[in-house]
Amino acid sequence: MENIIEVMNLSVQFRIIKRISIKEWARQILSSNRPRYNVIEALNGISFNIKKGSIVGIIGENGSGKSTLLRVIARIYSPDSGAVNIHTDSISLLSLAAGFNFDLSVLDNIYINGLLLGLSKKQIDEKLDNIIAFAELEDFITTPVRALSSGMKSKLAFSIASHVDPELLLIDEVFSVGDARFRKKSSEKIKELITSDRTVLMVSHSEHLIRELCTELIWLDKGKLVAQGNVNEILNEYRAFCKR
């Protein structure tokens, strides 16, 4: 089976400006000194391949680089070193960190986000009623997004992203959207997407869902690849590691 993703010695760094006073900041600027940074190694020299049609879970403690990895694969972040080869242009990142324009209406944001996710206007037109109905926002189509509750924004983000039909689907911990009833509906929608004929990379802290859905597992820790392979074996090792 051919590879759809090839990750080779991938490293990503984030540069965080050190906390200093306004006076010290001004002094550095006036003296032409560059502000000092803390460098965080979000991903550090990781390599792996993903076969087409695989359903791969990604686990690790908070800050291990899971979401960063998905965003590199989605071509949102660029590597600082190494390379990532993606053998498809049909990619969708299912995440609740949607970039809404809060001053525009729900309808406008559906079109903007749909286009950013790779849908054509014709495809959005065809899916529009389903997107609105799934998000349960029929009465808020012309409402500015800033007027929506956080739960309604999450439902809207989930509904837009889950109606894209990509060859490569990236899921970033979106199994807890909305109230209990909507969480059940969104989980069913994700399972429907996963069981279709596509490749899936899924970040989740739910051991139950990983065992149920994934055919392979990647374990990251502090930006490094610890293991890739059998789901049950790696989960057992990870559980033991977390108990230390």
Q: Which domain holds residue 78?
A: 3-9+48-242
Residues 6+ away with beta carbon under 8 Å from 12: 41, 42, 43, 65, 68, 72, 77, 79, 80, 223
Secondary element (H or E) of residue 42: strand 37-51
What pLDDT, in 10s, does the model give residues 56-108? 999 999 899 999 999 999 888 999 999 999 999 888 887 765 578 999 999 99
Residue 130 above 70 pLDDT? Answer: yes
38 within a domain of the structure (yes/no) = no
More confident residue, 15 or 156: 156
14 within a domain of the structure (yes/no) = no
Instruction: Classify 206 as helix, strand or coil.
Output: coil
Residue 46 above 90 pLDDT? Answer: yes
CA dist 136 and 189 (Å) reads 14
Number of domains in the chain: 1
Specify the amino acid at residue 77.
Y
Residue 62: other Cβ atoms inside 10 A: 7
125 within a domain of the structure (yes/no) = yes
Mean pLDDT, the chain, whole residue set = 87
pLDDT band of residue 226 (cuts 50, 70, 90) is very high
Looking up residue 111, the CATH number of its domain turns out to be: 3.40.50.300
Name the nearest CA neighbour of 148 among 109, 199, 202, 94: 109
32 within a domain of the structure (yes/no) = no
